[in-house]
Structures are given as C-alpha cells and as structure tokens.
Amino acid sequence: MMSFEIAEPQTLSEALALLDPEDPSVRAIAGGTALMLMMKSGVFRPTRLVSLRKLADAHTRIDARANGELAIGALTPLAALEDAPMVRSRAPVIAETLRTLSNVRVRNVATVGGHLAHADPHMDLPPVLIALRARVAVASRRGTREVAVEDLFAGYYETVLARDELISALIVPAQGERRAAYFKCTTRAADDWPALGVAVAVDGAGSAIREARIVLSAATSKPARLRAAEAILGEGTADAVLARAAEAAAEEADVMADGHGSAAYKRQLVRVYVQRALRRALGAPGVNERAQR
Amino acid sequence: MAAGRKTIRFTLNGKPVETEIANHHNAVEVLEAFGLFGARESCAQGLCGCCTLLVDGKAVSGCLYLAAFLDGAVVTSVEHLERDGALSPVQEAFIEEGAFQCGFCTPGFVLMVEQLLDRCAAPSEDEIRHYLSGNLCRCATYPQIIQAVQRAAEKRKASAAA
Amino acid sequence: MKTKDQATRQIGRSIPRREAREKVSGRAEYIHHLRLPGMLYGKIVRSTLAHARLKSIDVSAAAAAPGVAGVITAADVRKIIPDPYYGPIFHDQPILALDKVRHVGESVAVVLAADPHLAEQAAQLVEVEYQELPAVYDEVEAMKAGSAIVHEVLRPAGMFPDFKDLAGRRNTNLHLDFKLRRGDVARAFANAEHVFEHTFHTRQIMHTPLEPIVTLAESNGSSVTLHTASQMVSVVRTEIARLLGWPENRVRVKTAFLGGGFGAKTYIKVEAIAVACALIARRPVKIALTMEEQFYTINKHANTLRLKSAVGRDGRISARECEVWWNGGAYADIGPRLTQKTGFTAAGPYDIDNVHIDSYAVYTNLPPAAGLRGFGVPTLTFAYESHTDMIARELGIDPLEFRRKNLLREGRAQATGTVMRDAATEAVLERLAQRMSWNAPFDRGSGSVRRGRGIAIGFKASISNTTSVAIVNVYADGSCTVYCNTVDMGQGSDTALAQIAAEALGIPVESVKVAHPDTDLTPYDMGTLGSRSTFHMGQAVKLAAEDARDKLLALATALGVPVETTPIADLFRKRYGMQAGNVVGVATFNPKSNQPDHATGLAENITPNWMVGGTGAEIEVDTETGHVRVTRLVNIADCGTAINPQIVESQLSGAAIMQYGCTMSEGIEFDAGQATNASLADYKIPGIRDIPAVFVNEIVAARQESGPYGAKGVGETGTFGVSAAITNAIHDAVGVRITRLPVTPEAVYRALRANSATPLEE
C-alpha cells in the first residue's frame, strides 16, 4: 500500500467539503473493511481518505419516525443494526440477513452506509432493502436528496452517487402487512460470499397479494428485481402460481457465470430459491431451510 | 512529521501508549511494534480471524483495520486475558478440551469466544457455529473448539456463582 | 528412578500439550514473528506467464525506488551459487528463474527493503521481458507426443540409485514411471467373469498453512543461519550446504512451532532464496510469503486415475490394473518419490493375485506439486474405493460384504509381495461397520432431501529407509531435555515424545522438555512428515532415554546406592559433589526395508509399518440444488497404541475435515496456468459451519510391535477414506456417481440431470 493522507473531519459538512468530485483517489472511509481490501490488492490507490469516524455520534442513531419509518444513521455498524430491538421487531428479515453476512468482526466495523455505497453485488442487504422499499438519504454540498435503494446501483461496484455525495441515512418504511424473507445460497462452503441472494417481500394478507417484490443479487452484476415473476404473483399464492413465478424468475434473471457456478446452474438455483423464499415469506410449512447454507 | 505519518495515542491492554504510525499501516503492525504477536496476519482479508483484537470492546480483524483508527481507542489483545498469572476460563477450557493444534489461529478463536460468552452466557451449538464462522482453523480442531466453548460457559457460570 | 521396562502411566495418558499455555495466550514462538536487527524484507517478483523464455530483466527503476536496498536476479545468485538448482529428487528448480520460466508465479527477482511496504511497491517496478512458449497443463496431455516440453533435460539429483538412469533424458515430461507387475494380469482379465473400468480425476489442493511459508536467513560471512518454518531442518541444512559448496557445519537451521505444515513446508521452499539474498545483501533477509503467494509455491498433485478390475463369479477380484498420472507441475519436488511410494498401494487394501500398476510423474506448466497430508493416499483411496463400490453395486453385492470378501488380511501378501504385519485392516473394517450400524434400517429421506451412506477404507505404507537420531540429556537435578529435529507443527510431537522419554526414564512427564530443532545442537532426522515421527523419532527417543537410563543405573551401581529408590539428583550430587554433570543417552533408529525392484516393483519388505484408516459417511442430497450435507462422519483408525488419546483423536478429526475440504470445495482453478482463486475468499477451506453434526473418531485395539510402546503414526490416517465414503454415499442416496473432485453442488446437480436424461446446458 502506498502512503496517503487521512483527513478526520468533525462534521458532515466538513467531510463533504473534503471530497473531490473530480478525483477518484479521494474517498470517504467509514469502517473501511471493504476499502482496505481494495487498497491491499492495489485496486484502489488513495491519495486522501476522508475518515467519517468522528461523525459517528451524530450518525449512528436508529429512530422510529411518527409514520412508522425507521431512520438508520449511515455510520451505524452492521452489528448494531443486527442487535437493535427496533429493527428486530419492525423488519426482522434485516436481522436474519445480518446473521450470515460476512462475519462478526466485519459486522462490528462495517457500516450501513459503507455497505450500500460499496455496491458489491454480493452484499446481502441491498436485495433485502429493495424488497422492503427502503431509501437512502444522500448529502452533498448542494443539499440532500433521497434515492430508493432500488435505484442506487448503477452497475458492478457502481452507484448513482457522485464522488462528492455521501449516504447519510437509510430509511426503511413501515412494513405493514408486508412479509419478507431472504435466502443466501452458497455453493463452496457454508461461510462464503453468496452464489446468489434472493429477497422477497409480499404485501397483503393471506392469498390476497397487493404487491410482491422479488430481488436477486450476487448472481447478477447489480441487485435486480424480477418483475415478470412479481407480476405472476398477482394471481395468488397457490403452489402452481409460485412455481410459475419461479420459472419466470429463472427465465428473466440475467445471471453471470463465475467461480460459484455456471449460468445454467445459477438459473436453476434462482428457480429453487425464489420458490423457497416465497414459501418462507408466506409462512408456508415445509420450506426447505436446511439448504440455506 | 513526514507526510503520510501520524502520532496516535490509545489505551493498550490497560495502559496509555503513544506511537508514530504510517497511514497505510494496519492494527496488526501497531501491535507488532509493541512486541505483541498474538494477533497474526494470515489470509490478509479478514476471513481467517488470526489477527483478531478488541477495539473499544469489540472484536475486529486487525488486518483490515487502519492503524490511524486506533487513535483514542481502548485496544485489547489476547496477551491481556491472562491476569496475575492466571489464564481466563476460556483459555483454560481450550487447554482442557485440546481445542487447538498448531495454535496459530488460537488467539483469534479465544478472543472471539470471550466476546461470544460476554453476549450470551450459554450459547447453543448453532449459536457457537454462527459466531465462530469467520474464524478458520486449518488443523480443523472445530469439534474440540465447540466443546471448549461449552466448557468455558460452565466455568464462567461456576465462577459467577462462587 | 524406574529400573524395569514396565509400563507406567505415561503412555496412553491424555495430558494437555506441553506448549498449551503459550498457544492460548498468544506467546508461542513462530518464525512468522521473528525480526532481527538490520533485517531486510524480500519481496519476490513473479512470472506472469506459464512458459516463456526470459529475454531481459530491467531492475533499474526498482533499484532506484525509495527505501530499496537491492534487487536480486539469477545473475547475482550465480556469482555465489554457480549451479543454483535444487530439489530432493531432481536438481531442476532454479533459485530464481534463469533461462526461462515454467509456471505462473515462478520467482524471477527479489526486491529488498527494510520496510516491507516499500519492497512490495518497488517489486511492481521490475520489468521482465518474455518470449512466450507453448505450455501444457494437463497431466495426460503432457505425456503425448508433440506436447510442450517443460524441461529440456532431466537432471536427477543422483542421491537415489533408482532415479540415476533418468539423467540426461530429453524431450519428455515423464520423469518417473513406476511399474508394478505381479502375477499374470492379461490371463486373469481374459478369464474374468466381469471386467470393470473407471476413470477418476482430482484437482490441485493448496495446503493452506495459516502461518504462510517463511524463512529468515542471516550470515556472519563464515556461516549462515536459517530461521525457517520447515518440517525438515536436517534436509534444509544438507541442501543449502550443497548449494553453497560448504560443509554442513557452516549451515545452521533453526525452527520454532509451525503454524501448520501439512507437507507444504518440506524440502526447500524459500530457504534458498533467503540465503542467497542474505549473502548478497550482507544483512538478514526475511522472505515471508502471503497467503496468495503460497498458491504459486506448492500444491497437491492433480491426478487422472484409471482403474480396471477382473472379478470372478465368486465376487473375488482376480486382477487389477491401475494407471495413475500425477500432475507434478513445473518442478519435481518430492513428486517422483510419491509417485513410486504411493503408487505401489494403488490397487487398495485388497487381496489380489494379479496386479499391474503404472504410476507416472509428469511435468506441466503449473506450480509445483508435492505431498499433502497423506502423500497421495487419499487420492488413490478416492479412486479405488469408488471403483470398489461401483463394482459391488453393479454385481448386486453389499459394499461391506464385497470388501470383506476381498480384504487384504494379516499374513497375506500386498501387491509388492510384502506380507502384511500389524495392519488391522479387518478390525478397522469391522468396527466401521459397527459404528455405521450397517445392518440397521436407514432413513433414506423423502421429497427433495434424499439420504445415503457410504464407506471406504485405505492404507498407507510408512516412509521407508529413513533415519531418526535422538539425544536425551539428563541434568543434574533429574530433569531432562530431548534433543531432536522433529518439528511440532500442531500434531503434538513435543508432548508425545516427552511422554515416551518420561516413560522410558521412569520420571514425570513434567520433568521432560523437548528442545526445538537447531541443527547446531539437535541431531539428524529425515523430517517431520508422512506420519513418521511417532514411529521413527518415538523409537529413537525411547532408545536414547533407555540408553540414558542404563547409564544412570550403572552410575548407581558404581556408587553403591540402591538402584530402585535413589533419586536421580542424588546420583549426580554423590558423583560430582554438587549439582553438576550430565548423563547423555543417544540412539539412532533406522528400520530397514527394501526398495521395490526396478522392473517389477516387488519387494519382500517394502515398509516398516502400515497405517490403516476407514471412514463412513451419512449424507443428505438436496435434489433440487445438488447441495450435499454430511450429517455423520465416522473415522476408524489403526495407529497401534495411542501415546496420547486426546491428541490422536484431534489428529483423526482434523485430518478428516481437511480431506472433507479436498472433497467438497477445494481445488485450485487455473486459466492459462494462472490460478484464478488464489485467496481464501475464493478458495474455500472448511469452516466451523461445514463440519458434520455428528462426528465419531475412534482407534481400534492394535499394536505395532516394532514401534515405541506399540505405537505408530496417525497424522494422515483420518484422510484416507473420506472422499470415497462421501461419493459412495451420494450414489447410495441419489444414484449418481461423482468421479471428479471436488464434489460441488453443481457437479451433483448436473449428474442428477444427466441421470434423468435431461442434462443441464453448459
């Protein structure tokens, strides 16, 4: 690793002022677990890191808003998110997802904002947050804006954020009757990056489905909603419908081959895990949880 | 001071310390500079757990932790578990169950188990496996490690009751 | 003091490891930690091509970079080591690439700097110009006419007579062809009721010691000292002395605890580079590989294995033909020896009159291969135990029954002609059947979860004609130190050897220390590998301790004090008038065996002992995804007497889990010779969530008469049967046969689809 400058601003506006919209060698660093890997491998050679750690106190709160939304400070460590009673009660799928996300040490350090801004398609939370219709608050010297997590990712390790923008908070809307599930499927060892992640959220009671979201990650270059499959769920939750939705998901998913498996095999995994995730979300018995490795 | 370097002050194993670091150094290199070698960089990717240390009471991978971020922190390494010449119940349990072979990964496991038992006094086997899933042991002493966690939980319970 | 050779309580005691406290408190010594004043770090510049002529190396930019103390190339090395080739069987590996590179990752130059970050940075500035050559990667292709040739000329080391006739052979990648010819195979096949033939494949495996390979070398001008994480300090001394043209006593090799070895830290790895750099730079030089660099340095052979068997109406195997290709990579290392020594067991632990084995060591343009925990036996066992199961099932015979019918039993001759002694094949197989409840009903699952079970049994010959020397030095206070070159790399040798010495001397084990290897002080040992230390060094230590005991007894007699009751310290005090003096016991153990006949591979006494291991697996297959979960794993072993049962058990379970990784997930992937998964993020070794829920590890009651207190080695035995037990269980569950490791979920799913005549597209 080459030498570089570390700036430690005390406030968000100071941090924003230190970012450079034109210079890719200047980046914000929060927990740094992902950036350190990129720096060690030489993929990222910084000239300046803008450390956000002195901002932590102001940006690690988890608040419940009057409208039922959860507002989560971007510097909240993943472990704090995992343990927060408010998250466990309002969006239990987030806590469940975090249990097999990387490892305890990474979760102790990595932050919610960093996790999202890194835009590695293998990250577990983005598909879940997209399924839950979550948004991020984004700050820059020009002000703040909100971006749906669904619209955050532009491609492989790419977000729609400008170099001088920072995620300041994650907002998870009230889930109402929405039921959600996430499956992380690994193919090389139990503890691994996912070969694919499948998140589903089904809004509505019983078999009357108002809206369903099916989001695929890891097997694709960025998290992707499987809209054809979602549309089929308008017809209900009968086994045959779920099977057709899974078939449509396998058909439409733009999966990539890699060390986790071939494209044809991953398509089969999509077929299986979309069904399993839907069954789990719908609370159906007989869901084969054993296969979640 | 030269560019790319800074002085950091922190608490190391209960004592205030000060040292000059390079900005590109990680926490393992800082501990090494203090003659502490219990945390070891092995996979260099935060996956094996050999470089585990505690920062402000939380386990982190030293190989992925910038040295500069130790400034102002309370840092604990495995060397601090031994008190007045006595091993911790977790360390004793590892010995009694034979829960290590080459020993290279052992300090990392020991620190993680201390954390696990701080969080959960009597973890189930499933909880143990999940909590330790980010620590690798190529000698694969995993069955004995699970037994050691259970034994350490008993020891802690017994000493709390005493 | 104990005066008779009666058993006391040292043998068979599960005492904690002697170094337990140091290891749990982070204070155990590893070479990884070592720093010396004035030390430089060496960063190796590595080849980016698999096969290329070296046209030029431009080090000027690197040499001018900040903090760089020097850049070393082969031209510099040659000034101090004119013939800079090393290797245990062939002198084929240059310290740094000379005329050409033969694999991606080969060492081309070394950048030296006091700051490792600066060395690493400058290493990127070394410019190497190559002329690319055609390359060969597959072990079978490499033997075909027209293949790229990795080495123009074979250069056998000359130490071993059986390799001498290969010297100067040109235009071949085949560098050893071991042949075993027993009986009349052709006739047996012609007369056979049934003939079966199957082919199997395995991939390269990385040993992955968590303490990566590391050497620190220093020199004062007249001698050189290596601090190295090595399993073979004596061999390192011999080879470094040979390279330098110095007597052995000018080369000192020291080690500490090893953070795992598994065969990766054998022979020369980075020792020669470190020595060359230290002599050229005139400063201590540390070469510490990263995890990634280990993938370019050493691995386990990939194999192709073809087995063909003739079986009679009675279900007896009458003939077996084995052809085994070992992908040795670019440098032979110990591969040829493995090809031969493991090769002669390729027909399995079966009683077969007619055996024909060809075992080929083949060069390719991949990183070099060597032994990995089991020295090739787990690979062979995967093949012959899959083959055995396939035959049994095709014949409609229960796999256990078929094995019983053909098992190689005590007193019968193995393929080499050597009669089996103290090899508990029968006890291992029968205990395995019991612990698997083989005759009880078995839940076969339902829906998309199908269950199956399988067994496998393998055996290994101990490494033969090797020597261990031990010194037991009794101090005047009655404590003692064992001086030997056995390296404790986690297998617990410090503890087991202390127990043996204590037993022989009749003193508490707490009074015995085992010194760490330092060739200036500790005597010769062939190496800590092949499960040889408990047997070989154990016996040497026992004999040395008995020698010391006999001298103490003689001293007591001479002093006229009661032999049985006088404390050792009193003997010294009485003899020297104060706490002074030593009694030193010495012993050499060198069990004799024969080399196999060059033409037939036969030998009357091929090995000093046999290790036997059997594994049973119960598994679940998710038929929708191909995921396989091992729910129960049973390992049964014959290790003779267990010196320390707790350590033996953890050796068995550790070996089995390592082989579980080799079976289920591990395998180096190459693209044009470049390893594409050279990190623990992509090369997955087993973690705690991968291990089976139920795990049984057991030894059978047995005794190795020629071993110390009836003991023999156990470090590898748990690996033998794991792969085939799992693939046999998969077949039992879902009727598909996996013949290629690793058993990825995709491989299983594809096999399921092929089996149902709806193959999955590529």
Instruction: Nearest chain A residue to B54 by CA: give it.
Output: A105
Tell me the average pLDDT across C303-326.
98
Tell me whether residue C248 is in a domain: yes
**Which residue among B23, B45, B112 sits closest to A5, beta carbon to beta carbon?**
B23
The CA distance from B105 to the nearest CA of chain A, in Å, is 15
Do C671 and C726 belong together in one domain?
yes
| Cβ-nearest to A37 among B64, B68, B69 | B64
Alpha helices in C245-376 (DSSP H): 271-281, 291-297, 335-341
Q: Range of C737's domain? A: 299-463+597-755
Lowest mean pLDDT among B9-18, C159-168, C720-729: C159-168
Work out the pLDDT band at C26, boundaries 50, 70, 90.
very high
pLDDT at C539: 98
C-alpha C754/C-alpha C752 separation (Å) is 5
Give yes or no for a cis peptide into C336 (omega within 30° of 0).
no
Instruction: Give the model's pLDDT for residue C6.
Output: 47
pLDDT tens track for C434-473 = 999 999 999 999 999 999 999 999 999 999 899 999 999 9
* Percentage with pLDDT > 70 across chain B: 99
What CATH number does the domain containing C487 carry?
Answer: 3.30.365.10
Hey, are the CB atoms on C684 and A288 less than 8 Å from each other?
A: no
Task: Name every chain C residue with its beta carbon within 8 A of the beta carbon of A290.
Answer: 449, 620, 622, 629
Residue A45's closest chain C neighbor by CA?
C121
Q: Which chains touch C (3 or more CB pairs under 8 A)?
A: A, B
* C93-94 and C174-182 strand pairing: unpaired
For chain C, what is the radius of gyration of the CA atoms?
27
Residue C154, in any domain of the structure: no
The domain at A179-285 falls in which architecture? 2-Layer Sandwich (3.30)
End-to-end CA distance of chain A: 35
Give me the amino acid identity at C87.
G
pLDDT tens for each residue of C341-352: 999 999 999 999
**Architecture of the structural domain at A59-172:** 2-Layer Sandwich (3.30)
Nearest one of C459, C295, C264, C265 to C378, comparing CA atoms: C459
Asked which of C564, C589, C614 is the last residue of a domain, the reply is: C589
Closest CA of chain B from A4, distance in Å: 5
Residue C23 to residue B100, Cβ atoms within 8 A: yes
**pLDDT confidence of A290, banded at 50, 70, 90?**
very low
Per-residue pLDDT at A209 = 86
Q: Is the pLDDT of residue C375 over 80?
A: yes
For residues C158 and C177, give the distance between their C-alpha atoms in angstroms, rounded to a whole number: 17
Per residue in C604-655, pLDDT tens? Answer: 999 999 999 999 999 999 999 999 999 999 999 999 999 999 999 999 999 9
| Residue among A4, A102, A190 minimizing CB distance to B24 | A4
Beta-ladder partners of C303: C202, C326
Mapped onto helix, strand or coil, the DSSP state of residue B155 is helix
Calpha distance C410→C407 (Å, rounded): 10
C20, C259, C290: residue with CB nearest B102: C259
Residue whose tokens read 């040659």? C78
CA of C491: how far to CAs of C102, C316, C527, C644, in Å?
A: 34, 39, 14, 11
Sorting pLDDT into bands at 50, 70 and 90, what band is B9? very high
Where residue C268 sits, what CATH number does that domain have?
Answer: 3.90.1170.50
CATH number of the B5-80 domain: 3.10.20.30
Strands C174-182 and C285-288: unpaired
Q: How far is C616 from chain A (nearest CA, A)?
A: 21
DSSP class of B98: T
The C-alpha atoms of residue C33 and residue C27 are separated, in whole angstroms, by 10
Handedness of CA C47, C51, C52, C54 (dihedral sign): positive
Would the CB atoms of C687 and A1 count as touching at under 8 Å? Answer: no
**C-alpha distances out from residue B81 to B10, B28, B85, C62, C248, Å:** 18, 18, 10, 44, 44
Cβ–Cβ gap A288/C682 under 8 Å: no
Task: Name the residue among C694, C737, C728, C693 with its Cα closest to residue C454.
Answer: C728
Whether the pLDDT of residue A182 is over 60: the answer is yes
3-state secondary structure of A221: coil
Kindly state whether residue C163 falls inside one of the protein's structural domains. Answer: no
Binary contact (A106, B4; C-beta < 8 A): no
Shared domain check, C527 and C631: no
What separation in angstroms does the CA of C163 have from each of C86, C89, C90, C158, C178?
15, 8, 9, 7, 11
For residue C184, what pLDDT is reported? 98
CA of A19, closest CA in chain B: separation in Å?
18
CB contact at 8 A, C167 and C156: yes
Q: Which residues of A touch B133 (CB under 8 A)?
A: 100, 103, 190-191
Tell me which DSSP letter residue C603 carries.
-
Domain assignment of residue C707, yes or no: yes
Q: Which of C111, C80, C108 is nearest to C94 (CA)?
A: C108
Question: Does the distance separating the beta carbons of C746 and A193 come in below 8 Å?
Answer: no
Mean pLDDT over all residues of chain B? 97
What is the percentage of chain C residues whose pLDDT exceeds 90?
A: 96
User: Class of the A5-52 domain?
Assistant: alpha beta
CB pairs under 8 A between A and B: 82
Are C684 and A192 in contact by the 8 Å Cβ rule? The answer is: yes
Reference C714, options C646, C663, C649, C634; nearest CA is C649
pLDDT class for B1, splitting at 50, 70, 90?
low
Q: What is the tens place of the pLDDT at every residue in C524-569?
A: 999 999 999 999 999 999 999 999 999 999 999 999 999 889 999 9
Q: What value does the mean pLDDT take over residues B7-36? A: 98
Closest residue to C760, CB basis, from A188, A192, A265: A265
Topology of the domain covering B89-161: DNA polymerase; domain 1 (1.10.150)
Q: Quick one: CA dihedral C569, C572, C577, C578, positive or negative?
A: negative
- To test the contact with chain C by mutation, choose from B53, B78, B138, B145 the residue with the greatest count of C C-beta atoms within 10 A, namely B138
Q: How many separate domains does chain C show?
A: 3
Cβ-based neighbour number of residue A99 at 10 Å: 15
Query: What mean pLDDT is reported for chain A?
Result: 94
Tell me the chain C residues in contact with residue B79 when contact means C-beta distances shorter than 8 Å. Answer: 25-27
**ipTM at complex level:** 0.98
Question: What's the confidence (pLDDT) of residue C2?
Answer: 54
Distances (CA, A) of C214 to C30, C227, C295, C534, C546: 10, 9, 14, 26, 37
Q: How many CB atoms lie within 10 A of CB B41?
A: 23
Question: Contacts of residue A261 in chain C, CB cutoff 8 Å?
Answer: 744-746
- Shared domain for C516 and C582, answered yes or no, is yes
Q: Are residues C102 and C226 in the same domain?
A: yes
- Tell me: the pLDDT tens digits for A221-248? 999 999 999 999 999 999 999 999 999 9
Beta sheet of A48-51, edge-to-edge order:
A5-7, A48-51, A26-29
Contact assignment for A36 to B66 by CB distance below 8 Å? yes
Strand partners, A196: A185
Q: Do B60 and A191 touch (CB under 8 A)?
A: no
| Structural domain boundaries in chain B | 5-80, 89-161
pLDDT for residue C1 is more than 70? no
Closest by CA position to A91, among listed A162, A28, A205, A170: A170
Same domain, C427 and C328: yes
B43-73 pLDDT per residue, tens: 999 999 999 999 999 999 999 999 999 999 9
Question: CA-based Rg of chain A, rounded to a whole angstrom?
Answer: 19
At residue A1, the pLDDT reads 58
Residue C184 within a domain: no
Contact A29, A51 (CB under 8 A): yes
Using alpha carbons, list the distances in angstroms from residue A244 to A131, A178, C753: 20, 21, 20
What is the spatial distance between Cα C184 and Cα C356, in angstroms, rounded to a whole number?
Answer: 9
CB contact under 8 A, B46 and A51: no
Instruction: Give Cα C146 to chain centroid, integer Å.
Output: 33
**Contact between residue A175 and residue A48 where contact means Cβ atoms under 8 Å apart:** no
Please count the other Cβ atoms lying within 10 Å of the Cβ belonging to residue C475. 18
Which residue among A42, A264, A291 sits closest to C762, beta carbon to beta carbon?
A264
* C176: β partners: C361
Residues C458 and C540 in one domain: no
From chain B, pick out residues whose CB is under 8 angstroms from the CB of C695.
Answer: 143
Give the pair of three-digit tokens for residue B131. 């909590």
Q: Do C271 and C230 touch, CB atoms closer than 8 A?
A: yes
Interface contact flag, C17 B98, Cβ < 8 Å? yes
Sign of CA pseudo-dihedral C90, C95, C101, C103: positive
Min Cα distance C761 → chain A (Å) is 6
Mean pLDDT, range A106-131, rounded to an integer: 97
Pick from C353, C349, C290, C286: which is nearest to C319 by CA?
C353
Which among A105, A109, A124, A292 is the top mutation candidate for probing chain B, defined by the most B β-carbons within 10 Å of its own β-carbon? A105
Q: Which of residues 34-93 of A touch C (CB under 8 A)?
A: 42
Helix (H) / strand (E) containing A126: helix A125-131
Q: Are strands B74-76 and B5-12 parallel, antiparallel or unpaired?
A: parallel
Average pLDDT over residues C287-297: 98
Residues in B whose CB is inside 8 Å of some CB of A read: 3-6, 22-24, 26, 44-47, 49, 52, 58-61, 63-66, 68-69, 112, 115, 130-131, 133-135
| φ and ψ of A246, to 5 deg | -65, -40
CB contact under 8 A, C691 and B140: yes
Q: DSSP of C102-123, one letter per residue?
A: -STT-EEEEEEESSHHHHHHHH
Q: Are C546 and C514 contained in the same domain?
A: yes
Q: What is the pLDDT of residues C190-214, one digit of tens each?
A: 999 999 999 999 999 999 999 999 9
